[in-house]
Structure 1
Amino acid sequence: MGYLHYQPQNAHRVAVDGRSLLFHVPTTSLFEIDRLDHDVLDLFADRGLVSEQDVRDRFEGRVDPQILTERIRALLDLDIVTDGGPAKAERPPIHIENFPLTTVVLNVNTGCNLSCTYCYKEDLDTPSKGRRMAFETAKASIEMLLKESPDRDSYNVVFFGGEPLSNLALIREVVEFAERRFGELGKRVDFTLTTNATLLTEEIVDWLNAHRFGLTISMDGPKALHDRNRKTVGGKGTYDVVAAKSRMLLERYTSRPVGGRVTLTRGVTAVTEIWDHLKNGIGFHEVGFSPVTSGPVTPFNLTGDELVTVFDEMKRLGRHYRDEALQGRNLGFSNMHQLMSDLYEGRSKALPCGAGLGLLAVDHEGGLNLCHRFTGSDMETYGTVESGIEKERLARFIEDRADRTEKGCATCRIRNICAGGCYHESYAHYADPMKPTYHYCDLMRDWVDFGIEVYGDLIAKAPAFFTDHIMPRRAYGK
């Protein structure tokens, strides 16, 4: 048979509760393997190049040659070993011609009534100096959605800021227009909003409920932790008002689950404690965590040791998630839920997210940004809602970012889950969105390995969890 060549970048083995699982990297698929599969892989891992004599020396007299041939053929089919020819391309090179937009993010006001110490927004203003989006700009954004993706059945309009509720008048106007415009076309439109909750009233909550907004509340945990960074412009902590408003919202809101979003900064790493307070104390349906590792406000970036602590804490909470899932219950840990969704659906991502392709963010002046994190930054924009998308430049950016040649991503075992990491994280850390997020690659690999172990446990012992909790979550766009 000549020599067979091992392709270690395409296979990753994980042990789960006495079982051996093979993670097929190109397809993000997971297979259970037996002792013989394990021994065959050991041979290839030991040798790299394997001859027919090598196979005979290792297995002759103890394994049926026909069975052994079938196992090796399966590895060839998966491109885990090759016959010396070029390895199969995981996917053809990305070539962008169309922009299938489904989501537009409207930065409705640069002003915010809070002054959170870690805020990454480069265009953030105090309330009195906030620059508000005009209705005509928002209207043009919606028309751009329809122009670029006329054949979609549903669309999403996201309201962002600053604090988006500080321009509620525009939000109301946009919702009225969008519901009429999409309705006339027989299409559905969903609305999403992230808020600091301080401006919520019962009347506003009831209006949001009537229009079925997907809501996320920014809150950083118990009072002592939340008040460290989430302060008013005058420097006063906001926990008391945010907690009261959130509880009022959760008592009245019925149309969709409401999630909490936590920003983890230097000194704020108690993931399990924060989750418990927000899930069980406040009552959010799910809680998700965003570690701050990069950005211009360096005193608030997590240190290397703290980032390790954060991932250890996330795995601790992840084990609790697994234990509850084995009993058929959803713990409400967004980061773990997302990882389980990716593995269950077998997603193999060429790009880290839909920014610039399925989603664009519109700043208050109508400029088109990769996502909401870039509005007001020094990062180039890609056209305006009036002139349209500068498609050639935007396509070149996406194609170049997806090219893994001469990047560590090319052989990384989580390359099709991470896909190089967040554009803005790279921009903040390296001042270059083209670079992968190398600064926490090892931690991400360890996190995904942990997720594979949990997934392997759940799919074997509690497969109904995925149909009962993972797939319904997709219907909510969460």
Structure 2
Amino acid sequence: MVHPVFQPRSAYAPRTGYHLLPLRLGRLDESTYVVTNDVGEYVRLGRDELVAFVERRLAPDTNAYKSLKSRHFLYEDDSSVAFDLLALKYRSRAERIAEFTGLHIFVVTLRCDHSCQYCQVSRQSVDSAQYDMTVAHAEKALDLVFRSPNERIKIELQGGEPLLNFPLVRRIVERAQELNQHHRRDLQFVITSNLSHLSEDVLLFCKEHDVYLSTSLDGPADLHDAQRPISGGGSHQKTVEGIHRTREVLGPHRVSALMTTTPRSLHRVHEIVDEYVRLGFHGIFLRNLSPYGFATRSLVKRYGVDDWLDFYKRGLSHILRINAGGYLLREDYTTILLQKLFSPLGSPYVDLQSPAGIGIGALVYNYDGAVYASDEARMLAEMGDQTFRLGHLDQDSYEALITSESLLSPLSETMLEGIPMCADCPFLPYCGADPVFHRATQGDTVGHKAFSAFCAKQMGVLTHLIGLLETEAEARDILLRWV
């Protein structure tokens, strides 16, 4: 006899009827597939499981059914709660678009004392002061920064070498903090520097004003010096000394480093990773070359996507072994993708957004007063292509810049859900539209995805990453700790 307060046991049994919710699917290897939905949930299925699922005959007591149900790939006849949960998750992931521009890049000078082979901008000699941003342009750019509704504002000071125009860096930081007394934003500053001009005055200023430093470190001394030459030599030594001095004055976590993969780097990934560990870093970005600036004249054509993917996989494997040995070291690009996979808010990384993160994710104020939709857009302009130039600080208001056709047109074209091949790709929730890259490589802001190095890279990394998460328990435990 059933107690009158409770339903009979049969009422709680799984329903045999179910309906499919929107999904995309793709093959991981010869026998397994991945299905994803619009909010980034994914399930790995065997072929037989996938066929049974789409034919609506998957048994409710199977692990596959339970995973698909809990991650909103199906709903049963007696419940529509999955629709509400999907809507809530989708709104959460899209929230960053409404927040608008958070990253504001000031190119305070093109002058630089390094001659990096892969430099993405047209660097100028140290004594070419005509390539410095003026105080007037800096003031106008700061006014635009605080027009953004974003509550979290990051101001990044770039070059060239920004410390060659340190008086303007100082003025921008101090003026921004003064303006922020009224605007009350969460304000952060980063100086991107090779650290060769790092003085005690600079360090004390950074300490007083809570400024972070970011530098370039390509690996061991011989590799770094070959790729980032400086007059008189010793580029690596100067960088390492700058890292140590920064940590002594500002603290252990106030300086980060970024490497760039060149043909010289491809067979030395273990050495590169070990150098980051030796210097006490807990993050490394295995960054591939970009098709801009000097890199297009020589380096970028010397290796392809498959070469970099092999470099990345070997590097990630080495990093996972280091973590298994007790030292925390994240691969930063992997961490960004893990955020896209598992965080309810996704990732704010500008290059992996739909629509594209240009303009609404970042704005660049060039040394000459021109305003660009991204740092790569500025680099493309240096190569003679002004497609993503939004306007000029002397001529255009905030409204004119943000509503310019140079921004609105590529944004309307880069919703992945409407792009051929992207619309059906299982990796859509974790990817982005990079219109500047495709303009540079294919002459079109959308590009043909079958021939896109950007797409090949994303698919290669994500296929490998999901494979690790689903088949290697120790790797999964380590990777999940990164997020």
User: What is the TM-score normalised by the length of structure 2?
Assistant: 0.75
CA distance in 2, matches of 1:443, 1:256: 30
User: What is the CA distance between 1:284 and its match in structure 2?
Assistant: 2.8
* CA shift for structure 1 position 369: 0.2
Check the 8 A contact 2:133/2:368 in 1, yes or no: yes
Do the aligned partners of residues 341 and 454 (structure 1) sit closer, same or farther apart at CA in structure 2, a change above 3 Å counting? farther
Q: Bigger CA drift: 309-318 or 451-460?
A: 451-460
1:396 is matched with 409
After TM superposition, the structure 1 = structure 2 runs for residues 232-311 of structure 1, keeping only pairs within 5 Å, are: 232=230, 234=231, 236=233, 238-254=235-251, 256-269=253-266, 270-280=268-278, 282-292=279-289, 294-295=291-292, 297-301=296-300, 303-304=302-303, 307-311=305-309
Give distance in 2, aligned partners of 1:458 and 1:138: 51
Question: 1:105: which partner in 2?
Answer: 105
Counterpart contact for 2:216–2:257, Cα < 8 Å: yes
CA distance in 1, matches of 2:70, 2:331: 36
Matched-pair contact (CA < 8 Å) for 2:413–2:446: yes
Percent identity among equivalent residues?
Answer: 19
Aligned partner of residue 291 in structure 2, secondary structure: coil
Q: Which residue pairs with 2:461 in the alignment? A: 447
Q: Which amino acid aligns with 1:201?
A: S
Instruction: Please state whether the residue corresponding to 2:298 is helix, strand or coil.
Output: helix
Q: Residue 292 of structure 1: CA displacement?
A: 1.3
- Structure 1, residues 146-195: CA drift from partner, whole Å, max 9, x if none? 2232xx43311111111111111001111111111102333331101211
Matches of 1:78 and 1:143, distance apart in 2: 46
SS of equivalent to 2:359:
coil
Residue in structure 2 matching 1:42, options 38, 51, 54: 51
User: Are 1:160 and 2:158 counterparts?
Assistant: yes
Per-residue displacement from partner, 1:207-258 (whole Å, max 9, x unpaired)?
22332223221121112211222112x4846223222222322333317442
Q: Which amino acid aligns with 1:426?
A: H
Aligned to 2:83: none
2:440 maps to 1:415: no
Q: 1:441 to 1:275 in 2, by over 3 A?
A: same
Stretches of structure 1 lacking an aligned partner (at least 5 in a row): 81-87, 471-478
Query: Please, which moves more after superposition, 423-432 or 408-417?
Result: 423-432
Q: 2:309 is paired with a residue of what secondary structure?
A: helix
- Aligned residue identity for 2:421: G
Does residue 335 (structure 1) correspond to residue 333 (structure 2)? The answer is yes
Q: Which residue of 1 aligns with 2:24?
A: 10
Matches within 5 A, 1:193-212: 193-212=191-210
Decide which of 403, 419, 440 is 1:428's aligned counterpart: 440
Q: Deviations over 1:320-339 (max 9, x none)?
A: 44455567753132222222
Residue-by-residue CA offset, 1:357-411 (whole Å, 9 max, x unaligned): 1311011122210112332432231123342215041122211122554632222
Which residue number in structure 2 is paired with residue 473 of structure 1? none
Whether the aligned pair in 2 keeps the contact of 1:221 and 1:274 (CA below 8 Å) is: yes
TM (norm. structure 1) is 0.76
Check 1:242–1:283 CA distance in 2 against 1; reply closer, same or farther (3 A cut): same
Q: Please, which runs of 5 or more residues in structure 2 have no aligned partner?
A: 1-17, 76-85
Deviation of 1:117 after TM superposition, in Å, equals 1.8
* Equivalent residue number for residue 379 of structure 1: 386
C-alpha distance in 2 between matches for 1:303 and 1:5: 50
Letter in structure 2 aligned against 1:113:
D
Instruction: Give the direction of change, closer, same or farther, for the CA distance of 1:462–1:311 in structure 2 (3 Å limit).
Output: closer
- Residue identity matched to 1:402: M
Take 1:304 and 1:244, find their aligned partners in 2: how far apart are those partners?
32
CA distance in 2, matches of 1:396, 1:79: 36
Deviation at 1:308, TM superposition (A): 2.4
Report the 3-state secondary structure (helix = DSSP H, G, I; strand = E; otherwise coil) of the residue aligned with 1:179.
helix
Q: Which amino acid letter does the alignment assign opposite residue 422 of structure 2?
A: C
**Cα gap change, 1:333/1:75 in structure 2, threshold over 3 Å: closer, same or farther?**
closer
2:97/2:360 contact within 8 Å kept = no
SS of equivalent to 1:148? coil
Please give the secondary structure, in 1, of the residue aligned with 2:123: coil
Distance 1:224 1:74, change over 3 A: same
Which residue identity does 1:363 align to in structure 2? N
String of CA shifts for 1:424-455, please: whole Å, max 9, x gaps: 33233224343266125334212112222344
Instruction: Report SS of the residue matched to 1:216.
Output: strand
2:124 matched residue in structure 1:
125
Give the total of aligned pairs: 430
Please show how residues 47-58 of structure 1 align to structure 2 within 5 Å.
none
Q: Secondary structure at the match of 1:104?
A: strand
